[in-house]
Structure 1
Amino acid sequence: MSLQYIVREPKTEIQNPPLLILLHGYGSNEQDLFSFAEELPDELLIVSVRAPYNLGAGSYAWYAINFDDVNGKFSDLKQAKTSLDKIAVLIDEIKQKYKTNTDKTFLLGFSQGAILSYSLSFFYPNKVQNIIALSGYVNMELLPSSISKEIKTNYYCSHGTVDQVLPVDWARKSKPFLDNLGLKNIYSEYPVGHGVAPQNFYSFKSWIEERL
């Protein structure tokens, strides 16, 4: 089954538009991050994707998060990998269908969507050139056994200092991890919880504009 998505076509006539894919967080849906679309550069083709696992009442997940007395909170990594593969296929389908500029693909994820965005960049090297990871972290259990030396991806990472869902300490490990691999990245924090502050929005917006 392929993933459902909604599209904002470029607002300007452009032959091979740059592509921005949006991946929402756990328990949300494709409308959530799509609210950013109006404010983002006109030349972008923006595609907001709905996660495959239905939680009911308009909420979806990329993979289950389970709770038990022994392990505390843990993720269904098999479902996560299935979602990753589906996202990778969808990116190729969109590139082909809309004849996008294959050198300018951006993947923006929030929370669970950010975790998958990081992972996708390692499982599918250079399928996307730019990752915007908001309120997420690099899940070490969701990485290939060896990481390609050929990755050229750029990373924009940000997190709220009082995030009560994903602790900021988890996010702080992403920069040393990416630095260690020699990958270009910036990491910033904002005085918010599990969400995107207005300053954070303008910051990643200009980061995207610099790369168009």
Structure 2
Amino acid sequence: MVNNSLSLKHIIRESSLSENAPLLIMFHGYGSDENDLFSFANELPEELFIISVKAPYTMQPYGNAWYAINFDAEKGKWSDNEQAIESRDLIAVFIDEATNAYPVNKHNVTLLGFSQGTILSYAVALTYPEKVKNIIALSGYINKDILPENLKTQDYSHLDFYCSHGSVDQVIPVDWARQTPLFLSDLNIKHHYSEFPVGHGVAPQNFHEFKNWLLKRIS
């Protein structure tokens, strides 16, 4: 079902519960759209209310992005961090809109991101920890340039992260992802980190692992 009444375009799968459902919000990667991760929806627990969001920046000839990635001869590949921060804050507003508009439990919100969607999911959780509970971070990394400066003073005690990466990822180097457990440990944040022998994608065993991880945390 498509709903465009909130600030970000999105599609939904309703929960088997009529109220207070656990909420899962999906954020696709660079150049994709809201239909991409939504293909997981039928395989996920029926009590989940699922929202898959479309990124705000339209790409040509097709696809969408949360922020621009520029290719420059001098700088190499670099991210537009100002756009990324804008998208981070847009998502925070959208979470509030969604928890008000749908019959969900605002204290049981999970973010699921892939690639650029993961980078934003990390940023939202670490900037607005009161809005989320669980984060499934697939094939991404923590971009410290889009995080607040007061990390050490935030309360992250309720957060829980599932992080995974392909060991032969050709888009986002696995070494970037391997820094995540150290970063989260330094903030005393609960987390699980896994690698799978794939490129920039989600292996079947990766899907089953995060699904089982999520099942234990949404009840």
TM-score between both structures, scaled by the size of structure 1: 0.97
Partners of 1:103 and 1:81 lie apart in 2 by: 24
- Aligned counterpart, 1:163: 169
Query: 1:126 offset after TM fit, Å?
Result: 2.4
Uncovered stretches (5+) of structure 2, i.e. residues with no partner:
1-5
Partners of 1:125 and 1:13 lie apart in 2 by: 25
- Aligned counterpart, 1:144: 148
Contact 1:20 1:108 survives alignment (8 Å): yes
Residue range with higher mean Cα deviation, 13-22 or 197-206 = 13-22
Alignment of 1:88-107 (within 5 A): 88-107=92-111
Query: 1:13 offset after TM fit, Å?
Result: 3.2
- Aligned counterpart, 1:78: 82
Backbone CA RMSD of aligned residues: 1.1
Aligned counterpart in structure 1 of residue 31 of structure 2, from 27, 32, 42: 27
Partners of 1:42 and 1:122 lie apart in 2 by: 28
Contact 2:165 2:196 survives alignment (8 Å): yes
Query: 1:100 offset after TM fit, Å?
Result: 1.1
Contact 2:68 2:80 survives alignment (8 Å): yes
Query: 1:123 offset after TM fit, Å?
Result: 1.2
Residue range with higher mean Cα deviation, 154-163 or 144-153 = 144-153
Matched, 1:121 2:139: no
- Aligned counterpart, 1:154: 160
Partners of 1:162 and 1:149 lie apart in 2 by: 34
Q: Percent identity?
A: 57
Matched, 1:52 2:81: no
TM-score between both structures, scaled by the size of structure 2: 0.94
The runs of at least 4 consecutive aligned structure 1 residues that moved more than 2 Å come to none
Partners of 1:130 and 1:190 lie apart in 2 by: 21
Residue range with higher mean Cα deviation, 94-103 or 171-180 = 94-103
Query: 1:105 offset after TM fit, Å?
Result: 0.4
Uncovered stretches (5+) of structure 1, i.e. residues with no partner:
none
Q: In the TM superposition, what whole-angstrom CA distance separates every residue of 1:33-55 from its partner, at most 9, and x where no partner exists? A: 00000000000000000000000
Matched, 1:187 2:193: yes
Secondary structure at the aligned position of 1:102 is classed as: strand
- Structure 1 residue identity aligned to 2:217: R
Contact 1:14 1:43 survives alignment (8 Å): no
Partners of 2:19 and 2:58 lie apart in 1 by: 36
- Structure 2 residue identity aligned to 1:6: I
Query: 1:125 offset after TM fit, Å?
Result: 1.8
